[in-house]
Structure 1
Amino acid sequence: MMKQEQFLSVVDRDEAERRFRAALAPLAPVGVEEVMLGATLGRVLAEDVASPVDVPGFDRSNMDGFAVRAEDTFGASEQEPRRLRCLAEAVQMGDLPRGVVEPGCAMAIPTGGVVPRGADAVVMVEHTRLEGGDVLVEKPVAPGRAITWAGTDIAQGEVVLRAFEVLTSRETGVLAAMGRDRVRVFLRPRVAILSTGDEIVPPGAPLGAGKIYDSNQVILADAVREAGGEPVPCGITRDDPAAVRAALLDALAAADMVLLSGGTSKGPGDLNVRVLEETLEAPGILAHGVALKPGKPLCLAASDRKAVVVLPGFPTSAIFTFHEFVAPVIRALAGRAEPGAGGGSGASPATSPARGARERGWSRARLPVAMISEGGRTEYVLVRLTEDDAGRAVAYPIGKGSGSVTAWSQADGYFVIPRGVERLEAGDEVDILPVAGASPRRVDLVVIGSHCMGLDVLLGRLSRRGITSKLIAVGSEGGLAAVRRGECDAAGVHLYDAVTGSYNAPFMGPGLVLARGYGRLQGVVYRAGDARFEGREAAEAVREAAQTPSVMMINRNRGSGTRALYDELLGDARPAGYAVEASSHHAIGAAVAQGRADFGIAIELVARERGLGFLPLREERFDMVIAEARAGRPGVRALLEELGSEEVRRALRARGLRA
């Protein structure tokens, strides 16, 4: 057996950050460059910008009408208009008028035209009428009416934009208005990103057994851009010390910071940290192993004040530790201020997102379920947010684990469980922090409960109608509890009542409405040709398999309607694999197809899509439970319309569902 190496030393999160920042200090922008105006969007100003001209550069009319002396209009009305002589010259756009507006005269002027000498107001054309060679003014104007005086917006020499401001379309428009065609900005720090591992292949390549696509390089490259850096993709390097060392040296020479993904956990194939020990200049490795969840395998290092970080290989761990430790450094090197830091240079030390949440104005939310945390390390918990009937935020933890690719993209935010806390109770309030600086968006329809591909059809059609939605999959029982607590608009359920032999209706109560959905055939899935199941009656095959030690099952998550069906079939039997819980029908199909389990319970469509054998058990109903108090909401009304649509019924039948 190959020996597995242990972490060097697991340190506290704050101590790890202190060591890392001390080795990189002082953190400051990496440099300055001058760029053309068209390339400034998203860049950070490296200088204060004073206007070389007045804006506007002349007295400008704000509307179509007539330039006049205001006192000539006093007392005007529709019944008794003031008569002014209309001058032959009219103001032309882009030209300086030659004539002068004398007392008792008016000159036609367009919006944006130069106000002629002598005039101190503009009368809207709608408040005038022409009669012969005269203008009849029907409404008086005050001096300065409808005129923007030269330099009113920006005065020559006025500092309009300041260093360390991030240039958006608003600021670039101001630069253009001042006539600036180029400006000095901070260089974007170059961040080399190197993926390592024999199991990693690039997206688009064939995916062999035991291989995974390299999602981390894409996620990290875009996260670097979001933080103000310039990613330098370095591709994938195999698990070979010489190859990793060569790639690391190239990255150090080409970039201001180096990120490696994977190779930090204890294990025979993890070698990045050993390569760092042999390759980096002082101070070298600063922390290998941080008391975090997710993210414990993180390695922080520096080579002559250049940051080198080996992020965990699992996507959620990698992106969490990136935003916690790496993104603040990139922002400092790019001259960007820390979010919520109250302005100033990004070179100032960052405040950890685990601290000061209340001061930075993030929301508080109630937990609908109790949570157990592993003591001794800080834990970050991704959540989906919804609101109860009183408008209070409710945070549903996303329990997909650090290996999940979708958890980060689906999250509305996260909260922190301090290292000394081992349990949070249902009803406890937590501070919600934003994911990558984004604010959670409100949607038109919140559905909590069981997930089904038929529900995907419904929500997809709603999306095409412009109805936004959020689906939080917690199982049928969890969805029913959520709709009872007023935490969602609807719940997808397929709950079987053994007493009545029917689905869903027996579980209704006050304030709930059952909207009829569709049927789907549940059954036992197995690998085609398996004689232990082929041609057998489903219930009999399951009972016999449960008594056979060599047979491995795959279970469903507690609270799901399918879990109740398992327990009904198995009785007191607990065959091998009973404790392994899959969260969806597709996960059941994958486990059986890949040989990790010999049988499970899923819907017929999954068996057909994966080429599995199928023994029918019963048709179940997948219905929607609607909160009566929310039935009038536009999103709920749209959902009910789709459920009753024949077009939707045809689409569901095309997916193998019974509508």
Structure 2
Amino acid sequence: MSADRELDFTRRLAAAARQEQFLTVMSREEALAAFRAAIPHTALPPETVSLAQSLGRVLARDVASPIDVPPFDRALVDGFALRAADTEGANAARPRRLRLNREILACGVAPALPVAAGTATPIATGGVIPRGADAVVMVEQTEFFETGVAIDVSSPVRPGQFVGYAGADMAFGETVLRRSTVVTAREIGMLAACGLAEIAVVRRPRVAVLSTGDELVVPGEALRPGAIYDSNGAIIAASVIENGGEPVPLGIVRDDEGALESALRDALARGDLVVLSGGTSKGAGDVSHRILSRLGEPGILVHGVALKPGKPLCLAVAEGKAVVVLPGFPTSAMFTFHEFVVPLVRALAGLPPREEEAVQARLPQRLASELGRTEFVMASLAQGEDGPVALPLPKGSGSVTAFSQADGFFAVPAARSGVEAGEAVSVVRLGAGVRPPDLTVIGSHCVGLDRVVGLLAERGFRARTVWVGSAGGLAALRRGECDLAAIHLLDPETGRYNAPFLEPGMALAPGWRRLQGVVFRAGDPRFEGRSAAEAVRAALADPESVMVNRNTGSGTRLLVDGLISTARPPGFWNQPRSHNAVAAAVAQGRADWGVAISSVAKAYGLGFLPLAQEHYDFAYREADREKPALAAFLALLGTDAADAALTELGFEPGGGVP
């Protein structure tokens, strides 16, 4: 051995013998705190991608539906569109005979003929409900009468039976997907149903992945003595994808300080963060931590964590990007990767923290099920007084939003006829990382609440909204299934909104005021130039004037009932669940008038006769006032940001109780 080579070997031997010690061994909590303080754990800026490229991505903004879904009242079964009143008392012995109109309504065909009393129109599933019809009878419940081109109906049909109302799934302007939602096949179906071809998503973090060590060999090559295959690079790259990132594989770097420094600088230029496995211990050839001090400020934050396995972990920041050097042993590498890197990757990708996959929750009300068939029930989760509550979603098989709004599903066995109230069910989560909301709001829908909930999300709280009407919201609050009930209920005896309906232990938070009125097609001489009261009186006196009502339990329905008293005008039994559905019925000529809020009338280009300024408020349990998410929501009401958002929508902030 030459003198120079012997001197070099002696120096290397001395370095190995000294074994550079870790800077300072920190606890897991201290290391996490230092890392989070030095590098922002926030989502990256958005980018726009096509619908085909959006699977697995995270929404960067709330998504509002640009149309009603469905855009018209439609048949839910193959059968005949008719007037339910014409089938009253029908049975097998005494069927009701209806003359068939000379029209067949297939999908995509606009009706040309109205359904008059005593008539019916053949209609396919998905066909447009014609004017005059308020229900659909299934083919199986009829018998064709050839001589008179008629049908015999053998059982009575209720109003609204097998009718899917316009906007019942998604209403125009309704927030259908929240920012931070992970796009799956369910969400893609919703976006496609809305007609959206592109969407704004959080940019995926690019994670530069390197492995270091003279002993490493690329899988597929022959092993030499003392060598091992590089498994860490493959495992880390796959884990990056699992957690919403985009790996940038940079291969194996030898234990050469110059080559490793060059590779790390290249990695910093190409990635949003850098993950290197190996070279962070204190043996000969482990030089990674020395190079980190030269890459940029602040440099090394942590070198050594009190973990087993995982002690040699090194955390650094250079050029505003995280550089993580994992231990070389695979078990140690993956343990520390999931503990320290996964939270950062998911945060940059806009994803929530990883969570458990199943939740035990109780059912608040009995759920009936068909014997002999296993039933899978879509459900959302809420925090009740005694733990998680599973709320079965009310929407049917034709709904796109049932999957989007669900946290998961539970199964009712074939041998059971239902699940009893209070019984525990195991809710299987839909997708990794889905977590229960911080705040649950149940009651009457309003686009103003969508905007306020969006502002709440900016403050770090995730809200769930369920629309069941004002009365349904109060009932849910009474059962402890929600934090807030969104209500606008008028007490006809006192003329006051909302406060008279509260029960002991409940409090009311002022929300905002909305102008309710009679909506009609602009230019209709039956309504133009009249007051709302005059227009309603004239409509009730005109047998050709068709109304569109609202569902029982809604605040608007109480207002309508006060207007028409005991009258049952044409269209009375047409009772959709939203202002948008009312406006759609009038705008499309299926009804002549209804009651809705001014902002919806404006959106649909309808005439509007002011009727009453209603109060849209929030009931809550006084005992829950200090819960973080509820307190944050209540504090948000009345702020400049909330008031500006509500004013932009045409509402008057700070309604409250008169």
State the TM-score, normalizing by the size of structure 2. Answer: 0.51
Tell me, in whole angstroms, the C-alpha distance in 2 between the residues paired with 1:304 and 1:234.
Answer: 19
- 2:305 — aligned with what? 290
> What CA deviation, in whole Å up to 9, does each residue of 1:296-317 have, x standing for no partner?
0100111133100000001110
2:142 is equivalent to residue 139 of structure 1: no
Letter in 1 for 2:89: G
- 1:32 — aligned with what? 46
2:335 is equivalent to residue 311 of structure 1: no
2:281 is equivalent to residue 265 of structure 1: yes
- 1:321 — aligned with what? 336
Letter in 2 for 1:96: A
- 1:22 — aligned with what? 37
Letter in 1 for 2:42: A
Tell me, in whole angstroms, the C-alpha distance in 2 between the residues paired with 1:167 and 1:260.
Answer: 30
Bigger Cα Rg:
1
Offset of residue 61 of structure 1? 0.2
Offset of residue 99 of structure 1? 1.1
- 1:648 — aligned with what? none
- 1:335 — aligned with what? 350
Tell me which of 229, 233, 239 is aligned to 1:213. 229
Map residues 600-639 of structure 1 onto 2, 5 A cutoff. Answer: none
> What CA deviation, in whole Å up to 9, does each residue of 1:409-466 have, x standing for no partner?
xxxxxxxxxxxxxxxxxxxxxxxxx9x9699xxxxxxxxxxxxxxxxxxxxxxxxxxx
The answer (yes or no) to whether the contact 2:101–2:120 under 8 Å persists in 1 is: yes
> What CA deviation, in whole Å up to 9, does each residue of 1:453-489 have, x standing for no partner?
xxxxxxxxxxxxxxxxxxxxxxxxxxxxxxxxxxxxx
- 1:104 — aligned with what? 118
Tell me, in whole angstroms, the C-alpha distance in 2 between the residues paired with 1:193 and 1:93.
Answer: 53
Offset of residue 332 of structure 1? 1.1
Tell me, in whole angstroms, the C-alpha distance in 2 between the residues paired with 1:16 and 1:28.
Answer: 18
Tell me, in whole angstroms, the C-alpha distance in 2 between the residues paired with 1:193 and 1:282.
Answer: 21
Tell me which of 113, 137, 140 is aligned to 1:123. 137
Tell me, in whole angstroms, the C-alpha distance in 2 between the residues paired with 1:17 and 1:168.
Answer: 31
Tell me, in whole angstroms, the C-alpha distance in 2 between the residues paired with 1:239 and 1:10.
Answer: 24
Structure 2: any 5+ residue segments left out of the alignment? 1-12, 358-385, 389-428, 435-658
Offset of residue 8 of structure 1? 2.0
Offset of residue 263 of structure 1? 0.4
When residues 261 and 34 of structure 1 are mapped into structure 2, their CA distance, relative to the original with a 3 A threshold, is same
Higher relative CO (CA 8 A, sep ≥ 6), structure 1 or 2?
2
Aligned length: 348
SS at match of 1:170: helix
SS at match of 2:48: strand
The answer (yes or no) to whether the contact 1:340–1:360 under 8 Å persists in 2 is: no
Structure 1: any 5+ residue segments left out of the alignment? 343-358, 362-433, 440-659
The answer (yes or no) to whether the contact 1:5–1:268 under 8 Å persists in 2 is: no
Tell me, in whole angstroms, the C-alpha distance in 1 between the residues paired with 2:222 and 2:106.
Answer: 67
Tell me, in whole angstroms, the C-alpha distance in 2 between the residues paired with 1:34 and 1:127.
Answer: 50
Tell me, in whole angstroms, the C-alpha distance in 2 between the residues paired with 1:56 and 1:108.
Answer: 20
SS at match of 1:296: coil
Letter in 2 for 1:67: A
Letter in 2 for 1:124: M
Letter in 2 for 1:238: R
The answer (yes or no) to whether the contact 2:355–2:432 under 8 Å persists in 1 is: no
Offset of residue 225 of structure 1? 1.0
Tell me, in whole angstroms, the C-alpha distance in 1 between the residues paired with 2:338 and 2:173.
Answer: 40
- 2:420 — aligned with what? none
SS at match of 1:106: strand
Map residues 541-560 of structure 1 onto 2, 5 A cutoff. Answer: none
- 1:63 — aligned with what? 77
Tell me, in whole angstroms, the C-alpha distance in 2 between the residues paired with 1:57 and 1:227.
Answer: 37
Offset of residue 88 of structure 1? 2.0
Tell me which of 182, 186, 190 is aligned to 1:174. 190
Map residues 166-565 of structure 1 onto 2, 5 A cutoff. Answer: 166-278=182-294, 280-340=295-355
- 1:10 — aligned with what? 25
- 1:82 — aligned with what? 96
> What CA deviation, in whole Å up to 9, does each residue of 1:5-33 have, x standing for no partner?
222221111111111111113x3222110
Tell me, in whole angstroms, the C-alpha distance in 2 between the residues paired with 1:136 and 1:438.
Answer: 54
- 1:150 — aligned with what? 166
SS at match of 1:34: strand
SS at match of 1:89: coil
Tell me, in whole angstroms, the C-alpha distance in 2 between the residues paired with 1:20 and 1:108.
Answer: 67
Tell me, in whole angstroms, the C-alpha distance in 2 between the residues paired with 1:319 and 1:124.
Answer: 58
Tell me, in whole angstroms, the C-alpha distance in 2 between the residues paired with 1:96 and 1:298.
Answer: 67
SS at match of 1:52: coil
